[in-house]
């Protein structure tokens, strides 16, 4: 009778190779997961900053309609709390040249910037307002 040699399980060298492969792949996977997590946080911050900029633009439009024109403030900045964080915002109204047939109306370009601090803006929004009376 012949004895069949059956191999059950893995040899020590196979286990060491598998552990080496997992040991090399795991740090790369962890770095990739951390990168994705950082990108998600950054995109969330940019989205919230853009919402704040849109809200400010709507406030300017509503304020203009209620006052029947723009006020005297052409540049402003402040801080507000939104989504559990403090945000810095600023806007500036820049007068734009209006063609002769449309005068005496004045046209302004609105530039709104929002960020977590004054130096780093996460969202910028531009639009136009008319000071026609």
How far is Cα 94 from Cα 75, in angstroms, rounded to an integer? 9
pLDDT (mean) for 77-84: 90
Distance CA 120, CA 106 (A): 31
CATH of 12-130, one of 3.90.1150.10, 3.30.1300.30, 3.10.105.10, 3.40.50.720: 3.30.1300.30
Region 33-54: what's the mean pLDDT?
A: 94
Could you give the CA distance from residue 114 to residue 88 in angstroms, rounded to a whole number?
Answer: 6
> Model confidence at 130, in pLDDT bands (50, 70, 90)?
confident
Domain ranges of the chain: 12-130
What burial class does residue 133 get, using C-beta atoms within 10 Å of its C-beta: 0-12 exposed, 13-18 middle, 19+ buried?
A: exposed
CA–CA separation, 42 and 88 (whole Å): 16
Instruction: Give 4-38 pLDDT, tens digit per residue.
Output: 555 667 788 989 999 999 999 999 999 999 999 99
CA 95, 98, 102: angle at the middle one, nearest 5?
Answer: 135
Q: What pLDDT does 63 receive?
A: 86
Q: How far is CA 14 from the centre of its chain?
A: 48
């Amino acid at each position: 009778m012949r004895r069949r040699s059956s191999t059950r399980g893995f040899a020590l060298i196979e286990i060491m190779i598998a552990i080496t492969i997992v040991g090399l792949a795991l740090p790369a996977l962890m770095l990739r997961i951390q990168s994705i997590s950082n990108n998600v946080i950054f995109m969330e911050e940019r989205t919230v900053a853009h919402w704040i900029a849109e809200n400010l633009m709507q406030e300017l439009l509503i304020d203009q309609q209620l006052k029947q024109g723009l006020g005297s403030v052409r540049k402003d900045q402040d801080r507000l709390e939104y989504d559990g964080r403090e945000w810095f915002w600023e806007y500036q109204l820049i007068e734009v040249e209006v063609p002769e047939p449309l005068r005496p109306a004045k046209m302004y370009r609105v530039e709104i910037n929002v960020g977590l601090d004054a130096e780093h803006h996460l969202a910028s929004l531009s639009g136009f307002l008319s000071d026609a009376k």
